[in-house]
Amino acid sequence: MRAWRGRRQRPSLRSLYHHLVRALGPQHWWPAKSPFEVMVGAILTQNTAWVNVERAIAQLEAAHALSARTLARRPSTAIQRLIRPSGYFRQKAAVLQGFSRWHLKRYQGSTRAMFRTPARRLRQELLGLKGIGPETADSILLYAGRRPTFVIDAYTRRIFQRHHLISGREPYDETQRFCLDRLPRRVQLYNEFHALLVAVGKRYCHRTDPDCASCPLGKFPHHIEVHA
Ligand code: SF4
């Protein structure tokens, strides 16, 4: 993909990354005790704040339901009750149970076996599951499987669009290719960069009224178009 040809100067992805590392430090992602917990968190975090996911995961853990076997076998209403803090709990319970059944059937519940599958094929398998889109699939690959893929989310699009890197209208895979083509193929870098972009999005780069004066990326050329 070609870079978005805005008229103004564009920063390199590497310069943004290094600047953010210096300004904000390591983000220690993904906060979880096991790769399976990362995968559950990646599903639950859709459309909600992380603090709500933490509450849902704590409840699953307390109920000894944080495994593919228990998630697949317990009644759906029981899973819904446990993950209620994460919002959209009926849909998310169905996604978690569908994912867990697939995980058991396809990989006998072994995360190690799952991540022995070539990344491209595994991504396609994940995308074939109901309720798992590219952002969730890539989060699973990167943060649970330590595979070198870049996660694109709304914060990434907004920050890159405001810094003249993309138009913001590109499809997911095109924006991801833009990043992969411009960064060294390093899992830890992809891990940290995505986490840093999320931190910037949450703290400064709000959809309306962004705080560019305080933001560590404020020194890079940017423009703000706020749509109602
Ligand atoms: S808040 Fe402003 S400076 Fe920071 S990333 Fe967003 S547009 Fe850039």
The answer for 150, left when phi > 0, alpha when psi is -120 to 50, beta otherwise, is beta
What global pTM score does this model have? 0.94
Q: Could you tell me the end-to-end alpha-carbon distance of the chain, in angstroms, rounded to an integer?
A: 29
The pLDDT of residue 10 is 85
What would the two tokens of residue 95 be?
């996604």
Residue from 16, 157, 215 to probe ligand 1 pocket by mutation (most atoms less than 8 Å from CB)? 215
Of ligand 1's listed atoms, the one at least distance from the Cα of 200 is 5
Residue from 17, 157, 162, 193 to probe ligand 1 pocket by mutation (most atoms less than 8 Å from CB)? 162
Backbone angles phi, psi at 92, to 5 degrees: -70, -35
Model pLDDT for residues 131-142, shown as the tens digit of each residue: 999 999 999 999
Q: Is 205 in the pocket of ligand 1 (CB under 6 A)?
A: yes
The pLDDT of residue 171 is 97
The pLDDT of residue 56 is 98
Of 165, 172, 208, 173, nearest in space to 17 by CA: 165
For the chain, domain boundaries = 35-144
Euclidean distance between CA atoms 142 and 57, whole angstroms: 20
> How remote is the CA of residue 8 from the centroid of ligand 1, in Å?
15
Rounded to 10 degrees, what is the CA torsion of 10, 14, 143, 194?
A: -40
Model pLDDT for residues 62-105, shown as the tens digit of each residue: 999 999 999 999 999 999 999 999 999 999 999 999 999 999 99
Q: Is 196 in the pocket of ligand 1 (CB under 6 A)?
A: no
The pLDDT of residue 33 is 94
Counting as low any pLDDT under 70, the low residues of the chain are 1-8, 226-228
- Give 201-208's long-range contacts (Cβ < 8 A, gap of 24+): 201/153, 201/154, 201/155, 201/156, 201/158, 201/159, 202/155, 205/155, 205/158, 205/159, 205/162, 207/158
The pLDDT of residue 9 is 76
Architecture in CATH for domain 35-144: Orthogonal Bundle (1.10)
